Structure 1
Amino acid sequence: MNYVRTGMLMAALTALFGVVGYLLAGSGGMLIALGIAVATNLFSYWNSDRLALAAYNAHQVDERSAPELYRMVRDLAQRANLPMPRVYLIDEDQPNAFATGRNPQNAAVAATTGIIRTLSHDELAGVMAHELAHIRNHDTLTMTITATMAGAISTIASFGMFFGGGNSEHRPNVVVQILIAILAPLAATIIQMAVSRSREYEADRLGGEICGNPAALADALAKIAGGVAHIPNETAEAKPATAHMFIVNPLSGRGMDSLFSTHPDTGNRIAALMEQARAMGLAGARGSFLGGAARNPFAGGREPGPWG
């Protein structure tokens, strides 16, 4: 089902490319824009994960360079019946994390150094479980392709504002060019927001099941939101099309359930996770995460072992 939604999203963004091209340079501009869109779609499918990681200067780690984080991701991936993803660290003070990759076999999770310092072991594991839930649900393909396409639409619209081609009959005036430069990226952003917000609630729910303690993830979201509100992420500010990839919007700590928010309100997400914790009989639990009676819903009843 997620592949169908991804295809629909790519079609919508491709159509938006064509509209921008037509308004800027007539039918010739539309054909050029559609050609660029097709090439961008193909390139994004195979390389969007590398682009996202490179944009944040993420470096891959292993069990020797980051043993606790690597083992944590490995154990959670086993619980979720997922292949071991690549693990990356981002040298960034703002606490945050994201997942990327076109499928579970080619996936990666990335965490900032700020989140490693900010969260407890249990809270960090909850965040990694959330990111693995995105991988399990095949959300990462949509998220990374959307980031690439939205960025490309912003670029072509801004470029066209200054270099509108075509003959005089189809060339838009300066006012139209300015409107395109503003509205085309906005339309692309609305599309990416529409698909990302609902996915966050589902990734929270599934992440709570994977880690065994939704309350730990709820605590993590509260701490991350507080960190985002006080610590700017300059790379994200320069590349806002990637904001929807993160567990909490890196551009602002004022998350609102509105049309222009890339994420649901953090308070609403926390409330949903605490309700899930109560349903699991873990209300108020803030202790050892995955400890004791937390059942692994993906392992046929096998109880999780201790972290180590």
Structure 2
Amino acid sequence: MFNALRTTLLLAAMTALFMVVGYFIGGTTGMMIAFLFAAGTNLFAYWNSDKMVLRMQNAVPVERSRVPELYEMVDVLSRKAGIPTPKVYVIQTDQPNAFATGRDPNNAAVAVSAGLLRHLDTREVAAVVAHELAHIRSRDTLTMTITATLAGAISALAQFGLFFGGGNNRDNPLGGVGALLMVFLAPLAAILVQMAVSRTREYEADKDGAEISGDPLALASALKKIATLAGRQVNVPAERNPAMAHMYIINPLSGQRMDNLFATHPDTGNRIVALQRLAGEMPLADNTPRSQPRRPPVTVRQSGNGWRVPSVERAEEDRDGRGPWG
């Protein structure tokens, strides 16, 4: 119920942003056109934005027969989460990262990057997948995907209106100045909306994902690795579509652009501290001392030399030859 209300409020806020941009570009007429455009975008986003996001982020579907270990992991964790097994995609980037998308648990997908499979061990990958499944179970993916779609559309609308001289409309109270302001302020307003729905959601998904995997310390370790490496490796699809950055488990932007002025994710250090606190509160599944690493309750079959992701050949074996699963 809460997520449905949150999504409704999000749609209302983004629609209002559309109308404000339309007004300052084309006056009353522009506002009405923007409203119709927003209504059409909302409808499109609900049914098709997940496919668009996956395509724009260079995510490719992989067959179960090619990557049985990853599929088995997703199957096991999905059963623990109590949701249908989502589709599995691999993002063709060396930056370790992941996201989930889809309008509901029956129409969802999990996308992990080739870099994630190469740099993280089995426990850490499982913890990241569990985090994304938590987003799917709580239906955060609908909110995240629609926000990404509408934020990008608002920026495009502002630039489109300025290009076609909308600021010359006599019904526009600020004239060309108003249109120019919208080009800069509309994307920032969209980012603020993203921030409003992003930070608390990530903490909740960390907690729920840690409970699904039963291994909060593995998620803490994964977040630390991803945050460290994400700043060194450019995620080209994310840089081209910064409005979708909030969908990833860690901010994928390099910080070299103004798009990274406002952080859409909570501080990674704070997330790690919260997970460490959760690990101390969770009962152990075995007799392993807390000072020692716990084995995850998820069993994943591993092949002798690891496995390669189809059409992502950069997920090569580690130096010791064990492959991306360690």
TM-score, normalisation: structure 2: 0.86
Aligned CA-pair RMSD: 1.8
3-state SS, counterpart of residue 250 of structure 1: coil
Partner of 1:193: 195
For structure 1, which segment, 156-165 or 98-107, has the greater mean C-alpha deviation from structure 2 after superposition? 156-165
Amino acid of the structure 1 residue aligned with 2:134 = A
Of structures 1 and 2, the one with the larger relative CO (CA 8 A, separation 6+) is: 2
Distance 1:64 1:15, change over 3 A: same
- In the TM superposition, 1:1-308 aligns within 5 A as 1-165=2-166, 168-171=169-172, 172-252=174-254, 260-281=262-283, 283-290=290-297, 306-308=299-301
Aligned counterparts of 1:104 and 1:285: Cα–Cα separation in 2: 35
TM-score, normalisation: structure 1: 0.91
Query: How far off its partner does 1:168 sit?
Result: 4.2
Query: How far off its partner does 1:77 sit?
Result: 0.1
Aligned counterparts of 1:279 and 1:263: Cα–Cα separation in 2: 25
Aligned counterparts of 1:242 and 1:174: Cα–Cα separation in 2: 29
Aligned counterparts of 2:6 and 2:254: Cα–Cα separation in 1: 27
3-state SS, counterpart of residue 125 of structure 2: helix
Check whether the contact 1:127–1:217 (CA below 8 A) recurs between aligned residues: yes
1:168-217 CA distances to partner (integer Å, 9 max, x unpaired)?
42244333222110001110110011101110000000000000010000
Gaps of 5+ in 2: 285-289, 302-326
For structure 1, which segment, 31-40 or 168-177, has the greater mean C-alpha deviation from structure 2 after superposition? 168-177
Partner of 1:294: none
Aligned counterparts of 2:246 and 2:176: Cα–Cα separation in 1: 31
Aligned counterparts of 1:253 and 1:127: Cα–Cα separation in 2: 23
Amino acid of the structure 2 residue aligned with 1:179 = L
Aligned counterparts of 1:165 and 1:270: Cα–Cα separation in 2: 48
Aligned counterparts of 2:93 and 2:254: Cα–Cα separation in 1: 16
1:92-123 CA distances to partner (integer Å, 9 max, x unpaired)?
10000000000000000000000000100000
Query: How far off its partner does 1:167 sit?
Result: 6.6
Check whether the contact 1:87–1:109 (CA below 8 A) recurs between aligned residues: yes
Which portions of structure 1, spanning 4 or more consecutive aligned residues, are displaced by more than 6 angstroms?
none
Query: How far off its partner does 1:166 sit?
Result: 7.8
Query: How far off its partner does 1:307 sit?
Result: 2.9
Aligned counterparts of 2:13 and 2:261: Cα–Cα separation in 1: 18
Query: How far off its partner does 1:165 sit?
Result: 3.2
Amino acid of the structure 2 residue aligned with 1:190 = L
Query: How far off its partner does 1:253 sit?
Result: 7.2
Aligned counterparts of 1:8 and 1:25: Cα–Cα separation in 2: 25
3-state SS, counterpart of residue 88 of structure 2: strand
Aligned counterparts of 1:137 and 1:35: Cα–Cα separation in 2: 30
Distance 1:259 1:252, change over 3 A: closer
Aligned counterparts of 1:43 and 1:250: Cα–Cα separation in 2: 25
Aligned counterparts of 2:291 and 2:177: Cα–Cα separation in 1: 57
Aligned counterparts of 2:112 and 2:264: Cα–Cα separation in 1: 19
1:243-272 CA distances to partner (integer Å, 9 max, x unpaired)?
000000001479xxx992100000000000
Check whether the contact 2:78–2:133 (CA below 8 A) recurs between aligned residues: yes
Query: How many residue pairs get matched?
Result: 291
Aligned counterparts of 1:79 and 1:253: Cα–Cα separation in 2: 36
3-state SS, counterpart of residue 166 of structure 2: coil
Partner of 1:301: none
